[in-house]
Amino acid sequence: MFLLQIMPSTVAKKARPKKMSQYDQDVMDEAVRECRAGRMTVRGAAAHYNLPKSTLQDRVSDKHGKIHGQPTELTEQEEEYLVDMLRQAGEWGFPFSQMDLQMFVKSYLDKKGATTRFQDNFPTHRFVDCFLKRHPDLKLRRTNLIKRARAAVSVEAIEEFIANYEKVAAGVPPENIFNYDESCLRDDPGSKKCIFKRGTKYCEKVMNHSKSSTSIMFAGSAAGEFLEPFVVFKAKNLYPSWCQRGPKGAVYSCTPSGWFDQAQFEKWFFELCLPKLKRKPGRKVLVGDNLGSHLSPAVIQSCRKLKKF
C-alpha cells in the first residue's frame, strides 16, 4: 500500500490583477498621474497598484475612456438640471412622484424630438431606478400630506413673491391676469412615495383633501371672469353619464388616482385656458400653485408663441 502525501506548495502564487469592476477609480487615477509624470512606468505602476497593465496603458494613452454600459438617454448636464429641479420641488413641498418624473422626461424628449429606446419616449420604472442610483443624494420617500394652511411659508418668501408679481404684472390689465388652483376632494388620499433630497427629515407634500374622490380645476381673472371648470374623476375609464348635467362648458377627464398630473394639466391648459388667452390682446399673466411639477416643454412653447405672454 502506498500513501501519497500532498504537501502545500511553497511557491507563492502571483496575485491576479483585479477585474475592471473591482479596482478603485481613485487608485487608477493616481497610477495614471504617476505614469504621465514619468515617475513610474506602466508596468511598474500596474504591479505597484495591482492594476491590469493593459487597462492602465489604455488610460494613460486616453483609449477607451468612455463609461461602461449603455449610454443614458439624457446627457450629464441635462440630468444635473433635472436633479436640481427635483431637489427644489421637494424643498417647496411639491415633490415629484415616480410617475411625475416619467411624464416630465417624456414631455422633454418629445419636445426635443429625440428618438430613444423607450416606447413612445415614455421612460420605464427601470429608468427611474437607474437615475436614482446615479444620483444617490436623491431618494424615494413616503410623504406626509399637509394642508396648505399648515405649509411653512416664511415672510421673506411672501415678500419675494409680491415683489416679483408687481414686476411681472406691471401694465397688464386685470382681465389678462388669471389665477388657477386645483382642489383634490378626497377623504383619505393616503401616502405615496416621492423624490426628496437624501437626509430630508420631514418629507411633506402640500395637498388639499376633503370628503370626495374628485379633483376640480378653477381659474378666474382679476376682473372677475371665470373659466369653465375642469373635472378629473378617480377612474380608469370616463363614462358619458358622468359628464351630464354639469356646468356649461365644463371639461371632464379621469386618472387612476383622481389627482392632477402633467397630462391633465396640459389638457386643461390647451382645451380651456389657452383658447381664452389667445383671444385677449396684450400681455397675459397666469398665476397658480404647483406650476413647477405641472409645467411641461409643450406648455412653455405655447406660451412663447403668444409673443406677449
Q: Positive or negative CA dihedral for 84, 86, 87, 91?
A: positive
Instruction: State how far Cα 101 lies from the chain centre.
Output: 4
- 141 Cβ contact list (under 8 Å, min separation 6): 193, 194, 195, 196, 200, 203
Examine residue 263 and state whether it is found in any structural domain, yes or no.
Answer: yes
pLDDT digit of tens for each residue in the chain (309 aa)? 444 444 444 444 555 544 444 667 788 888 888 988 888 998 998 898 888 888 888 888 877 555 555 678 888 889 999 999 988 888 877 888 888 888 889 988 888 888 888 888 888 888 888 888 888 888 887 776 665 555 656 778 788 888 888 888 888 999 999 999 888 776 555 556 777 777 776 666 666 554 456 889 999 999 999 999 999 988 888 898 988 888 888 999 988 878 888 888 888 888 888 888 888 888 888 888 655 445 556 666 665 555 444
Examine residue 138 and state whether it is found in any structural domain, yes or no.
Answer: no
Examine residue 5 and state whether it is found in any structural domain, yes or no.
Answer: no
Total structural domains within the chain = 2
Examine residue 142 and state whether it is found in any structural domain, yes or no.
Answer: no
178 and 296 in a single domain? The answer is: yes
Examine residue 37 and state whether it is found in any structural domain, yes or no.
Answer: yes
CATH number at residue 40: 1.10.10
Q: Are 102 and 122 in contact (CB under 8 A)?
A: yes
Examine residue 49 and state whether it is found in any structural domain, yes or no.
Answer: yes
| Cell reading at 69 | 454600459
Where a domain ends, among 60, 79, 113?
60
Examine residue 265 and state whether it is found in any structural domain, yes or no.
Answer: yes
Examine residue 257 and state whether it is found in any structural domain, yes or no.
Answer: yes
Q: Which residues of 22-47 are buried (b: 16+ CB within 10 A; e: fewer)?
A: ebeeeebeebbebbeeeebebeebbe
Residue 268's domain comprises 170-190+209-305
How many Cα atoms sit within 13 Å of 12 on the Cβ side? 3
| Cell reading at 39 | 515617475
| Cell reading at 238 | 370616463
pTM of the entire structure? 0.43
